[in-house]
Amino acid sequence: MIAVLIIFGAWPLIDGIKKNSEDFILAKNNISTFESQINEIENFKNSYATYQENLQKMDQLFVDSENPVDFIKFLEDSALVSNVSLQVIIPPYSNNKESSLKFVLFQLSLKGEFDDILAFIDRIEFGNYLIEVSNLTIENQKINQNIKKSESLTNENNAFINIKVFAKR
Residue 80 above 70 pLDDT? yes
The pTM is what? Answer: 0.62
Residue % of the chain over a pLDDT of 70? 79
Tens-place pLDDT, residues 56-67: 778 778 888 888
State the greatest distance between any 2 C-alpha atoms of the chain, in Å, as a whole number: 130
Q: What is the pLDDT of residue 149?
A: 45
| Closest to 109 measured CA to CA, from 151, 139, 149, 68 | 139
Q: What is the pLDDT of residue 147?
A: 47
Q: What is the pLDDT of residue 139?
A: 87
Tens-place pLDDT, residues 96-111: 555 566 888 999 999 9
> At 152, phi and psi to the nearest 5?
-130, 150
